Chain A
Amino acid sequence: MKADDFRTRAENQWCPGCPNFGILAALRGALAVCGLRPEQVCLVSGIGQAAKMPHYVRANFFNGLHGRALPVAEAVCAVNSDLKVVVVTGDGDCYGEGGNHFLHAVRRNPDLALIVHDNQIYGLTKGQASPTTDVGDRTRLQFEGVESEPMKPLAIALLHGCGFIARGYAGDIPQLTDLIADAFRHRGFSLVDVVQPCISWGTHAVGWYAERLYRLPPDYDPSDYQSASEKVLEWKDRIPTGILYRSKESKACFGDRFRGETGCRNLTDLEFPAKRTVSEILERFKV
């Protein structure tokens, strides 16, 4: 499969020139690099411009409700461990409306890749602050500037045991392709937070990001928790990209224990229980 094999016929609804197109190219590229076929992939999304991604990538998909992609995706992981589950979402969708689900998804460690188009703004609703908008930034709703401290999703993920945390940049497609492919290869919950300047409503110009972004040096050790705990908080003056944290330990994934104890690889393999079995189990309620 080539990246172009993941194209669809759906008309793209993004703004012309949106960095989302870079993320789209990287995602298609990573799917191809990992040798996946469309039917092996399941994209899950919520609502927002980022969440329209599944319409532009040929694969199975469930484009659900605002903020609710993760619970849907976690269940897909529990049911069918053969599907490569990818959640595509934005900062408002995932960290705002779906913040609680994000927190608990990290704890569950489902085997899925979470790609967050983090543009620090609500685009589709025309320019309100998102959970990651910087303090003081003026928006179309926070006219005097944002007062609340921005959320630190990468730090939250690290604190709750996420084994793969990366930051990419929508303008660096080759690196982003590699990061997404690495996220796919990681068994467990992997987070790729993508800096994606919003060219319509963003509080920072593209140049603001370009000045601050830098690739982590080759000698950076992503398995070092201490370094990672500093890098996940680095923002404002300098913004690191690359794999910020990758655990050397492998952790059980959501559904592993059930699969191990029942010997049932995928729930979809199971037939209806036989009537005789049902009668036998019901016998236990006889007195």
Chain B
Amino acid sequence: MTELGILICGAAGQGVQTIGSILARIALKSGHCAFTWQDNESRIRGGSNGYAIRISDRIHNAPLSVFDALLPLDAKSRTKYLPFLKRDGVLIGGEEPGFRGMALDSASISVRKTGRPFFSNAVSLGALAAVLGFDEEAVLASVSEEFAGKTADLVRNNLELATEGFRLVLERHRDLCRPKAAKQDVRRYLISGADACAMGAWAAGCRFMAAYPMSPSTGVITALSKAGNELRVFTEQAEDEIAAVNMAIGASFAGVRSMTATSGGGFALMCEALSLAGMTETPLVVVLAQRPGPATGLPTRTEQGDLLFAVHSGHGEFAKAVLAPPDAGELFHAMARAFDLAEKYQTPVVVLTDQLLMDSTVTLDAFDPGRFRNQSHYGDGSQDQGYQRYRFTGSGVSPMIRPGSGPGLACCDSDEHDEDGHITENLEMRARMVEKRLGKLKALQAEIAPPESYRISDAEIVLVCWGSSRNATAEAVDEMRQHGRKAGMIHFAEIWPLPDFVLPDVPSLIFVEGNAMGQMEGLVRSKYGVTFSGSIRKYDGLPVDAGFILGRLAR
């Protein structure tokens, strides 16, 4: 096995995600790597959803646009997703001219064995695993793990019917099966973006999260709520996004690292409070999981369309950082970075993710929390009767204390204020306070990591990208290199304030991003004074993938 793309599709509620996540487990148990991503419709039941899995020998945490095997759970999904199956691909549960098909009546098998069609997905899963050349043992172990904690009956039936599907394919359709993959004994991490975000926040010392449910951000508070007591993270579902972000600010003012998460529409509601965090100099981390807008847009799809919105969010002038990690593994670390910057500079930090990043799962070799060091940035003053929350300092950062920790009083105001935190109409004070708040920007900008340069040294064509488009873009670069083209990539994972950087002077500089207006391209152009020879933009709700980039380059 070098690489396989598998697509499982069906109506919402049919079990597409369960089959997909078990298959990813099987792949990892067999020593392979898996990347999964989802193409969902915004509904609870019905419609037609796809769960895609890329299985490979080496880690490739990027989406594909064509597949080697298709498992449709209903006729509608089969019609919708058949165009994405390669010409020699395997269609499980049907026959179509031009494809290698295999009839499989999973429902009848389930009825025959258990008296009801409930376990037909297990049959299909077993059949799919057999076609892909996996071990029966890995299949059974993964099924057991997926259903751990469920009734013994349910586990037994799933195991039996997965075995049934697996053996049936080996008996009747051996010609369709890939050669048995050599099993490697290696354990790797398999984690979703939402889980990585939650774990990263906790690892960075986050103790409070409030949020209002909104796809594709809801997974973060869900993960923290599930493990909340064990991890000692307090979570609250707020009545709206305005309450959520104000709660996060309140918790932060009270002295703990806190966050909220939302998507574009909810972020719009949070903007006033983002400005409040800027004015009161309260640390705040907001995860913005983008989905296609404007307005409600495509609630369950992906886009990189809120970059300028995030960068310019909040009325008035204040310092703010925007981070855009490329994938779940880096998102874990970006959370630590966000909490550190927010606390150090007492200002809001937006972590810009999207549906691809949140809903995808990645394979990771290592997950090293030692890569960052948690450090408290609280200052002295709680024992000082004369403590001033907004005392002028050279850096613009005033020592921050926790209310109640001593006779020093924490006094924060959204009005323009003096060093004590009291309302002022003294315009000389106003000007000094503006300079104090914006004075933090210089040091903040100096801390922002320069973009990653990938295979740049001799490159003649350089693709520039940001956020979750990274892995697909790097893959396109690797493909071009294999075909003798000197390609390279520049990737921005920390995007505001833009760091000082010199873009390479190459014959072909092309910007790749998941929006229609070229938002980051515009920022980069004005900041670095470069012009791009081309732009590749995707805005149909699906993620940027290497095939798409290469196709556009070929035009």
Pair B251/A287 contact, Cβ less than 8 Å: no
Pair A55/B423 contact, Cβ less than 8 Å: yes
- Interface residue B246 (Cβ < 8 Å from any Cβ of A): yes
Pair A63/B412 contact, Cβ less than 8 Å: yes
Chain A residues within 8 Å of B280, by CB:
62, 64
- Interface residue B524 (Cβ < 8 Å from any Cβ of A): no
Question: B382 — nearest CB in chain A belongs to which residue?
Answer: A39
Chain A residues within 8 Å of B114, by CB:
none
- Taken together as a complex, chains A and B put the C-alpha atoms of A255 and B374 apart, in Å, by 26
Pair B404/A62 contact, Cβ less than 8 Å: no
Chain A residues within 8 Å of B258, by CB:
75
Chain A residues within 8 Å of B190, by CB:
285-287
Chain A residues within 8 Å of B255, by CB:
79-80, 267-268
Whole-angstrom distance between the Cβ of A64 and the nearest chain B Cβ: 5
Pair B409/A282 contact, Cβ less than 8 Å: no
Name the one of B204, B243, B369, B404 contacting A39, with C-beta atoms under 8 angstroms: B404
Pair B404/A64 contact, Cβ less than 8 Å: no
Pair A71/B243 contact, Cβ less than 8 Å: yes
Pair B188/A64 contact, Cβ less than 8 Å: no
Name the one of B210, B234, B239, B242 contacting A255, with C-beta atoms under 8 angstroms: B234
- Taken together as a complex, chains A and B put the C-alpha atoms of A79 and B189 apart, in Å, by 33
Pair A64/B406 contact, Cβ less than 8 Å: no
Report the stretch among B126-134, B195-203, B391-399 that lies at the interface: B195-203
- Interface residue B107 (Cβ < 8 Å from any Cβ of A): no
- Interface residue A16 (Cβ < 8 Å from any Cβ of B): no
Chain B 470-491 interface residues, beta-carbon cutoff 8 Å to A: none
- Taken together as a complex, chains A and B put the C-alpha atoms of A281 and B276 apart, in Å, by 35
Pair A282/B276 contact, Cβ less than 8 Å: no
Pair A71/B247 contact, Cβ less than 8 Å: yes
- Interface residue A52 (Cβ < 8 Å from any Cβ of B): yes
Whole-angstrom distance between the Cβ of A42 and the nearest chain B Cβ: 5
Pair A268/B254 contact, Cβ less than 8 Å: yes
| Proximity string of chain B (226-265) to chain A, C-beta cutoff 8 Å, 1 when within and 0 when not | 0111011010101110111011111101111010000000
| Proximity string of chain B (367-404) to chain A, C-beta cutoff 8 Å, 1 when within and 0 when not | 10110001010000000000000000000000000111
Chain A 235-256 interface residues, beta-carbon cutoff 8 Å to B: 255
Whole-angstrom distance between the Cβ of B167 and the nearest chain A Cβ: 24
Most A CB within 10 A of own CB, among B203, B204, B404 = B404
Chain B residues within 8 Å of A155, by CB:
none
Pair A80/B404 contact, Cβ less than 8 Å: yes
> Taking A47-B414, A258-B228, A267-B208 as contacts, is the C-beta distance between A39 and B408 under 8 angstroms?
yes
Pair A60/B410 contact, Cβ less than 8 Å: yes
Chain A residues within 8 Å of B503, by CB:
none
| Proximity string of chain A (28-56) to chain B, C-beta cutoff 8 Å, 1 when within and 0 when not | 00000000011110101001000010110
- Interface residue A279 (Cβ < 8 Å from any Cβ of B): yes
- Taken together as a complex, chains A and B put the C-alpha atoms of A15 and B258 apart, in Å, by 38
Name the one of A104, A272, A279 contacting B374, with C-beta atoms under 8 angstroms: A272
Chain A residues within 8 Å of B195, by CB:
285
Chain A residues within 8 Å of B236, by CB:
74-75, 78
- Taken together as a complex, chains A and B put the C-alpha atoms of A209 and B490 apart, in Å, by 70
> Taking A72-B253, A268-B254 as contacts, is the C-beta distance between A78 and B422 under 8 angstroms?
no
Q: Looking at chain B, what size class is its interface with the partner chain?
A: 35 or more
Whole-angstrom distance between the Cβ of A280 and the nearest chain B Cβ: 10
Pair A76/B250 contact, Cβ less than 8 Å: yes
- Taken together as a complex, chains A and B put the C-alpha atoms of A70 and B515 apart, in Å, by 37
Pair A68/B246 contact, Cβ less than 8 Å: yes
Question: A13 — nearest CB in chain B belongs to which residue?
Answer: B423
- Interface residue A59 (Cβ < 8 Å from any Cβ of B): yes
Chain B residues within 8 Å of A10, by CB:
420, 422-423
Pair A72/B247 contact, Cβ less than 8 Å: yes
- Taken together as a complex, chains A and B put the C-alpha atoms of A284 and B210 apart, in Å, by 25
- Taken together as a complex, chains A and B put the C-alpha atoms of A42 and B403 apart, in Å, by 7
Whole-angstrom distance between the Cβ of B438 and the nearest chain A Cβ: 21
Pair A287/B403 contact, Cβ less than 8 Å: no
Pair B246/A72 contact, Cβ less than 8 Å: yes
- Interface residue A82 (Cβ < 8 Å from any Cβ of B): yes
- Interface residue B273 (Cβ < 8 Å from any Cβ of A): yes
Chain B residues within 8 Å of A264, by CB:
232
- Taken together as a complex, chains A and B put the C-alpha atoms of A261 and B202 apart, in Å, by 18
Pair B422/A286 contact, Cβ less than 8 Å: no
- Taken together as a complex, chains A and B put the C-alpha atoms of A9 and B238 apart, in Å, by 36
Pair A273/B202 contact, Cβ less than 8 Å: yes
- Taken together as a complex, chains A and B put the C-alpha atoms of A267 and B206 apart, in Å, by 10
Chain A 163-212 interface residues, beta-carbon cutoff 8 Å to B: none
Question: B258 — nearest CB in chain A belongs to which residue?
Answer: A75
Pair A39/B414 contact, Cβ less than 8 Å: no
Chain B residues within 8 Å of A9, by CB:
420, 422
Question: A42 — nearest CB in chain B belongs to which residue?
Answer: B403
- Interface residue B421 (Cβ < 8 Å from any Cβ of A): yes
Question: B282 — nearest CB in chain A belongs to which residue?
Answer: A62
Chain A residues within 8 Å of B403, by CB:
39, 42, 60, 76, 80, 83
Whole-angstrom distance between the Cβ of A131 and the nearest chain B Cβ: 17
> Taking A64-B280, A261-B229 as contacts, is the C-beta distance between A78 and B234 under 8 angstroms?
yes
- Taken together as a complex, chains A and B put the C-alpha atoms of A286 and B204 apart, in Å, by 20
- Taken together as a complex, chains A and B put the C-alpha atoms of A143 and B251 apart, in Å, by 42
Chain A residues within 8 Å of B228, by CB:
258
Most B CB within 10 A of own CB, among A73, A255, A264, A281 = A281
Name the one of B231, B254, B369, B409 contacting A59, with C-beta atoms under 8 angstroms: B409
Chain B 422-448 interface residues, beta-carbon cutoff 8 Å to A: 422-423
- Taken together as a complex, chains A and B put the C-alpha atoms of A78 and B25 apart, in Å, by 38
Chain A residues within 8 Å of B140, by CB:
none
> Taking A267-B208, A272-B205 as contacts, is the C-beta distance between A76 and B253 under 8 angstroms?
yes
Most B CB within 10 A of own CB, among A10, A264, A278 = A278
Pair A100/B243 contact, Cβ less than 8 Å: yes
| Proximity string of chain A (64-93) to chain B, C-beta cutoff 8 Å, 1 when within and 0 when not | 110010111111101110110000000000
- Taken together as a complex, chains A and B put the C-alpha atoms of A33 and B270 apart, in Å, by 39
User: 17 pairs across A/B with beta carbons < 8 Å?
Assistant: A37-B407, A39-B405, A39-B406, A60-B411, A61-B412, A62-B412, A64-B246, A76-B250, A78-B208, A79-B234, A79-B254, A83-B254, A101-B242, A270-B207, A273-B231, A285-B191, A286-B187
18 additional contacts, CB 8 Å, given A74-B236, A75-B254?
Answer: A47-B414, A55-B423, A60-B403, A61-B413, A61-B421, A62-B280, A64-B280, A65-B246, A71-B247, A76-B253, A76-B403, A80-B404, A83-B404, A258-B229, A262-B232, A273-B205, A278-B203, A287-B188
> What 3 A-B pairs have minimum CB-CB distances, sorted nearest first?
A75-B250, A72-B250, A60-B403
